[in-house]
Structure 1
Amino acid sequence: MSFELVELPALSRFTVDRQEPLRGDAERLLQMWPKARVITVDAHGRTLVADRASRLVDRPATEFGDEPPEGAVLLGEQDGVAYWAVLLAEAEAEGGPAAPAGRAWFGADLTDEPQWLDLRACGALLDDTGAGLFTSAVALFNWHRTAKFCAVCGGGKQAVKAGWVRVCSQCGREEYPRTDAAVICLVHDGADQVLLARGEGWPEGRYSVLAGFVEAGESLEACVAREIAEEVGVAVSAIGYLGSQPWPFPRSLMVGFQAVGDPGEPLRLADGEIAQAKWVTRAEVRQALAVPGSVPDLLLAPGASIAYRMIQSWAAVGD
């Protein structure tokens, strides 16, 4: 029994126009700057979320000067307003220490007061515009942080085109934001069981679906079959596409699939990668989604991940 995603994954939502020509139009960008809005991202990868309304806090661009400051990145345009992001320097990091690691798993509780939250904690809580803006900002800043030198000659690189291209100062080579393809697959038995696993180093009881990076010269479908076999020793069939989601930690595109496996096959866990794996019934998954922590040893993927949407959609079959 196949299924489809009931909604877009949380970080796949985007409403502003990501028009590429605007990035290279310095004159128009300067003209739009006085009306532009800016979100800030601190040294811990967090931005300021306003309140229970799930809105990002953006600021007038003019607070940052008469033109885009060095390092600013253009996120898009909507209704004549350009949206930018600025990375705060380490010394300017706001909001106190980074949120505890556990909040990345369980998400955040929004309050009536603004909070500095990372994308894992608040991605599923933001509105469509905010989710898209914050996801793009995190992806771009992660790229800039690791792409300072040319891979060909080692020369230093400078950001151009509103932060979407880096050019080598020595050989002139252009480099664009890199995305690593990864597959993520929900394996079910064609009826009422799903195969879930806990990765090494994950919190006790935390389970999700299986995932892995695409290798050179490998198709997405071949990667699904290989990764499932390598990680849990199960052969799968009826591989079908579900959807995709950016996952900028640091630069992945998660391509979601479903596949059918046999619960009768013995599970052989990849040493050092998979700590536990088990088949779980639809009734158990529904209960774990409805009341987190109510099913012993079954805490599911957080809402910002495509894994959550995949599990939620499979659990909804038959409703």
Structure 2
Amino acid sequence: MTEAVLWVDPAGSVAVDAAGQAVWATMPTHARQLVRVDAIADRWAARVDTADVETLARRAGGRVAETREFGDDRPVTRAIALLRHRDQLRFDPHDGSELTFDADGIIGRGSRDRRVFPRVDPAVIGLIELAGTDRILLARNAHRGTFWSLIAGYVDPGENLEEAFAREACEETGRRIHSVRYWGSQPWAASGSLMVGFTARTDDQEAVAPTDGELAEIRWVDRDEVDDLPLARPGSIAHAMITEWRNKR
């Protein structure tokens, strides 16, 4: 029996031990979905009920952890993303036939034998500095307003990544940006995204265009003020970018 299986509940949560490390257990007896995460190490992920994950967490002396806590854990991120794909895609988008999956549970095929691969949605996120100052633009989302984060959004068809970030910055904050530079990237299994990070500058201290209402509050902050704000959680690309900027004193 495989000894390296990640049990994932319908919300994408997994069991972690007392040190906060994901628990890889034996194969569950009643997994609803099963995907291979790593062929070389023979790691798998299984979709199970929330009660199963809670039981495993108690056995490990730990707790149940949400998807958002594993931004830097590649095997866990891959596991959650692949199971999310299996849950959401049951039929071939081309002809509507039911999909059957390969032995690894990753690639599906419909009645026409057309391969259907896991979907990844590109998104952009970025740290915007006010030109000539030592401040960055942070915001609270209108629907998830308990923490401060960077400007982000999905890439539209026909856009490159830099264009997408410039559009999102203008739509959400009313600021025009320039000097866009690539920073890094991070898979984000919670939404099936690949987050691509940028830095940029703006000359617009105040909004010069109408905004779309997605943000509840927008604020320019300096390095000392960052420490007083509840930020996006550790493990997220937003937290990494903000922390890196803050530490450049």
Could you state the TM-score of these two structures normalised by the residue count of structure 2?
0.89
Q: 1:85 aligns with which of 45, 52, 76?
A: 45
**CA distance change for structure 1 residues 312 and 267 in 2, over 3 Å: closer, same or farther?**
farther
1-side partners of 2:33 and 2:141: how far apart?
A: 36
| 8 A Cα contact 1:139 1:248, kept in partner | yes
For 1:138-195, what per-residue CA distance to the aligned partner results, in whole angstroms no more than 9, with x for missing partners?
Answer: 1011111111011111111011140220111x22221000001111011012441001
Normalized per residue, the structure richer in helix is: 1
2:191 alignment partner, SS class: coil
Q: Is residue 2:75 matched to residue 1:115?
A: no
Q: Paired residue for 2:136, among 191, 194, 197?
A: 194
Rounded to whole Å, the distance in 2 between the matches of 1:266 and 1:248 is 32
**Matched AA of 2:244:** S
Q: Which residue of 2 aligns with 1:273?
A: 214
Q: 1:43–1:93: 8 Å Cα contact kept in structure 2?
A: no
Q: Measured at CA, do residues 215 and 164 of structure 1 come closer, stay the same or move farther in structure 2, by a change above 3 Å?
A: same
- The reply to whether residue 46 of structure 1 matches residue 13 of structure 2 is yes
* Aligned match of 2:180: 239
Q: Deviations over 1:94-130 (max 9, x none)?
A: 428xxxxxxxxxxxxxxx822121121x326xxx6xx
1:154-193 paired onto structure 2 within 5 Å: 154-168=96-110, 170-190=111-131, 191-193=133-135
Structure-2 residue corresponding to 1:59: 25
Q: Is the 8 A contact 1:39 1:47 kept in 2?
A: yes
More strand by share: 2
2: CA distance, partners of 1:317 / 1:77? 41
Matches within 5 A, 1:90-105: 93-95=52-54
**What residue is the counterpart of 1:316 in the other structure?**
247
Aligned to 1:76: 38
Between the aligned partners of 1:159 and 1:71, the Cα distance in structure 2 is 11
Give, as a single letter, the amino acid of the residue that structure 2 aligns with 1:48: A
Q: Please, which runs of 5 or more residues in structure 1 have no aligned partner? A: 1-33, 97-111, 289-294
Report the TM-score, using the length of structure 1 for normalisation.
Answer: 0.70
> Is this contact kept in 1: 2:15–2:65, CA < 8 A?
yes
Aligned partners of 2:77 and 2:2: how far apart in 1?
22
Give me the identity figure in percent: 32
Displacement after TM superposition at 1:219 (Å)? 0.8
| RMSD, aligned CA | 2.3
Instruction: Kindly indicate whether the alpha-carbon contact (under 8 Å) linking 1:44 and 1:93 is maintained by their aligned counterparts in 2.
Output: no
Letter in 2 for 1:240: R
Residue 217 of structure 1 aligns to a residue in which SS? coil
Please list the CA deviations of residues 258-279 of structure 1 after superposition, one character each: whole Å capped at 9, or x if unmatched.
0001253336562331111111
> How many residues align structurally?
244
Distance in 1 of aligned mates of 2:26 and 2:86: 24
Structure 2 gap segments, 5+ residues each: none
Counterpart residue identity of residue 87, structure 1: R
**Greater length-normalized contact order (CA 8 Å, ≥ 6 residues apart):** 1
Q: After superposition, what is the alpha-carbon deviation per residue over 1:222-262, rounded to whole angstroms, capped at 9, x for unaligned?
A: 11111111111111111000000011222111000000012
